[in-house]
């Protein structure tokens, strides 16, 4: 199985309003709820690709119950979330139907106590021996140590399990120092980390900070990977219009599945880019349009960067 | 006891954001939850005034569980809510800390099935014999017949229980035809009902449509009441700054408590206006600032309209 970690899982709520009127009262015409958080999205896409995925992290309160119940009903992801006393955060996406724009409101998440953190570490260590890879995804809830991804990376490496790290800011910076096998920042996260807005230069810098390999998602431009053996860039055959939410999580699922299937880098990149574009065509994060995926997969252009990494 | 009916109860969620940015991602810095819905606010204020209050209506799903648990923890209101399969709606108030403005998002509420509606009617009929008065409050969830307040008014009148009706639009129009003892529209609701923006004229018109007495809340200007015996207007001694949410519900609690205590109309009005103003000074609906209430109570000006109603 592939293990995904979502320390700040969320109950994702989507509201549709005819036209959002700030500083006024808005009647919501449609409400949808789904299990949210980057690692849960990754796990969901992995199961759709035929892999067994186990999701851990924290869940608590009525919102945590709702999340777990939706996860069981709607996905074949194995739930290994650890209970906490605080309530799982909500995220509220308000879609303005007159413009298609979304206003996002993200709760901070429950404070995790030291005892809950210990319980999580035990669960994580118990799951590792069965994992063929682990993905560490997303932001941290209050109360979790900022070097958490470094700790989780070291534990996985000790167990001989490859680690993919997908986070930002200080948790990314600290996590890189523990030498994860693969880091997947987007262009903005990479620029914030390295100070460089030139992706190839920034990805090389991120490798020097500790990641064995850096895969940078470049939005509609595809993905760039810098490894010890070379650098490749993959781009979709055309620009895909739609909702980019979750595209990065699908790219992570593509990279992880390619890793455990031992695909060569160009094939992993092609899968990540095709999945990412197919997610833009799906209504929600954690889903992808299979027709688009299959159509694009053979048509992603992968080019090797001539300069040695 | 006094019975309050809230057919579309809500879990009220308040988000504080440093500055609301529409069409962008906003980090919520503070989350608060409370039991919401007009009848629940009225019941809460009644208990603070020393009355026993029973709240009925519908509650369901994880949000309904959260509402009931908060109601039990935070209030001494007796919970007689009827379970439904759908989830109790949420309302989300997003407070922009840079301006103090609030953007409100109101979910529509669960669809109530005919069987659930029957179960509610049985509960309501069982509660009526013990009620000294009943308040019918707020909007209707999907699936509830639009003439519901007329039916509930007739059932209460058959049981000899006085009825206060606080709603708007078509449910108000239909409810009035069943001749409730008292209707409490605000000035906008009264204008929408009658086509007149002149409160005294509009309140008289509303009486002709069926209400024995009409008490119109006029915001910072206080309250106007038109009865079979005369008309009075009450105004606070000064303009009170603050958050007007729930001020109308507190006015309803003032009128209802005055009714069961058999106070003369000027005293009922003074209580309703002082409570309403004291609610503007409290942080949330269903609460009032007791110091402000006690200070204002003796200082509300009540004048009789010279023209016969």
Q: For chains A and B, what is the number of CB pairs under 8 angstroms?
A: 71
pLDDT of residue B306: 81
Task: Nearest chain A residue to B97 by CA: give it.
Answer: A23
Gap between the Cα atoms of A190 and B96, Å rounded = 31
- DSSP state letter for A181: S
Q: Could you tell me which residue, A143 or A18, shows the higher pLDDT?
A: A18
Compute φ and ψ for A141, nearest 5 degrees: -80, 160
In this prediction, residue A306 has a pLDDT band, given cuts at 50, 70 and 90, of confident
Structurally, at CATH architecture level, domain A1-35+49-108+126-132 sits in 3-Layer(aba) Sandwich (3.40)
- A22–B22 C-beta distance less than 8 A: yes
How does pLDDT run across B78-93, given as a tens digit for each residue?
999 999 999 999 999 9
pLDDT surpasses 80 at B227: yes
pLDDT of residue B245: 84
pLDDT surpasses 80 at A308: no
Nearest CB neighbour to A106, from listed B25, B62, B108: B25
Instruction: Name the packing angle between helices B169-176 and B187-194 (round to 10°).
Output: 70
pLDDT surpasses 90 at B244: no
Pick one of 3.40.630.10, 3.30.70.20, 3.40.1190.20, 3.90.550.60 as the CATH number of B1-37+51-133.
3.40.1190.20
Contact by Cβ (8 Å): A83, A59: yes
pLDDT of residue B308: 53
pLDDT of residue A296: 95
How does pLDDT run across A23-35, given as a tens digit for each residue?
999 999 999 999 9
pLDDT surpasses 80 at A121: yes
Task: Nearest chain B residue to A66 by CA: give it.
Answer: B62
Q: What is the mean pLDDT of residues B2-17?
A: 96
How does pLDDT run across A182-241, given as a tens digit for each residue?
999 999 999 999 999 999 999 999 999 999 999 999 988 999 999 999 999 999 998 888
For chain A, say whether B169 makes contact (Cβ under 8 Å).
Answer: no
Nearest CB neighbour to B106, from listed A21, A27, A63: A27
Percentage above 90 pLDDT, chain A: 89
For chain B, say whether A139 makes contact (Cβ under 8 Å).
Answer: no
pLDDT of residue A272: 98
pLDDT surpasses 80 at A309: no
pLDDT of residue B307: 62
How does pLDDT run across B170-222, given as a tens digit for each residue?
999 999 999 999 999 999 999 999 999 999 999 999 999 999 999 999 988 99
- A104–B25 C-beta distance less than 8 A: yes
Q: What is the mean pLDDT of residues B229-240?
A: 93
List the B10-17 sheet strands across, edge first: A25-27, B102-106, B89-96, B10-17, B30-36
- B62–A105 C-beta distance less than 8 A: no
How does pLDDT run across A71-105, given as a tens digit for each residue?
999 999 999 999 999 999 999 999 999 998 889 99
Residue to test with chain A: of B19, B28, B97, B244, most A Cβ within 10 A: B28
Reduced 3-state DSSP string for B72-124: HHHCCCEEEEEEECCCCEEEEEEEECCCCCEEEEECCCCCCCHHHHHHHHHHH
pLDDT surpasses 90 at A51: yes
How does pLDDT run across B109-124, given as a tens digit for each residue?
999 999 999 999 999 9
The Cα of B34 is separated from the nearest Cα of chain A by a number of Å equal to: 14
Chain B residues near residue A105 by CB distance under 8 angstroms: 15, 17, 26, 28, 92, 94
For chain A, say whether B192 makes contact (Cβ under 8 Å).
Answer: no
Q: What is the mean pLDDT of residues B70-74?
A: 95
Burial class (CB in 10 A: 0-12, 13-18, 19+), A136: buried
The CA distances from residue B65 to A62, B6, B84, B127, B286, in Å, are 8, 16, 11, 22, 19
The ipTM (two decimal places) reads: 0.84
The Cα of B109 is separated from the nearest Cα of chain A by a number of Å equal to: 10
- A107–B92 C-beta distance less than 8 A: no
pLDDT surpasses 70 at B309: no
For chain B, say whether A168 makes contact (Cβ under 8 Å).
Answer: no
Chain B residues near residue A99 by CB distance under 8 angstroms: 23
Contact by Cβ (8 Å): B258, B215: no
> In B, residues 95-134, which contact A (CB 8 Å cutoff)?
96, 99, 101-108
How does pLDDT run across A134-186, given as a tens digit for each residue?
999 999 998 899 999 999 999 999 999 999 999 999 999 999 999 999 999 99
Task: Nearest chain A residue to B95 by CA: give it.
Answer: A23
Q: What is the mean pLDDT of residues A55-65?
A: 97
Q: What is the mean pLDDT of residues A270-297?
A: 93
Contact by Cβ (8 Å): A84, A117: no
How does pLDDT run across A235-267, given as a tens digit for each residue?
999 888 887 888 999 999 999 999 999 999 999
> Does B249 participate in catalysis according to the annotation?
yes
Which of A40-54, A90-104, A279-293: highest mean pLDDT?
A: A40-54
């Amino acid at each position: 199985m592939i293990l995904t970690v979502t320390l700040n899982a969320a109950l994702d709520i989507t509201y549709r309003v005819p036209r959002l009127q700030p500083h006024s009262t808005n009647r919501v015409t449609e409400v949808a709820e789904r299990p949210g958080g980057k690692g849960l999205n990754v796990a969901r896409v992995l199961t759709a690709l035929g892999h067994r995925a186990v999701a851990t992290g924290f869940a608590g309160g009525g919102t945590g119950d709702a999340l777990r119940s939706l996860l069981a009903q709607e996905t074949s992801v194995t739930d290994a979330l650890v209970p906490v006393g605080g309530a799982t955060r909500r995220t509220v996406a308000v879609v303005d139907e007159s413009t298609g724009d979304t206003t996002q409101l993200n709760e901070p998440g429950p404070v995790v106590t030291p005892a809950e953190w210990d319980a999580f570490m035990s669960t994580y260590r118990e799951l590792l021996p069965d994992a063929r890879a682990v993905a560490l995804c997303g932001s941290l809830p209050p109360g979790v140590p900022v070097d958490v991804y470094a700790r989780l990376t070291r534990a996985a490496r000790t167990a001989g399990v490859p680690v993919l790290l997908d986070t930002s800011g200080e948790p990314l910076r600290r996590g890189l120092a523990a030498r994860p096998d693969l880091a997947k920042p987007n262009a903005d996260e990479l620029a914030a980390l390295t100070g460089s807005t030139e992706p190839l230069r920034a990805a090389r810098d991120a490798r020097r900070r500790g990641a064995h390999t850096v895969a940078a998602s470049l939005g509609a431009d595809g993905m760039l990977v810098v490894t010890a053996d070379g650098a490749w860039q993959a781009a979709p055959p055309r620009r895909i219009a739609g909702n980019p939410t979750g595209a990065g999580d699908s790219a992570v699922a593509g990279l992880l599945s390619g890793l455990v299937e031992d695909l060569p880098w160009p094939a992993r990149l092609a899968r990540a880019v095709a999945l990412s574009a197919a997610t833009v065509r799906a209504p929600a994060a954690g889903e992808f349009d299979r027709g688009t995926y299959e159509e694009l997969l053979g048509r992603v252009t992968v080019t090797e960067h001539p300069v040695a990494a």
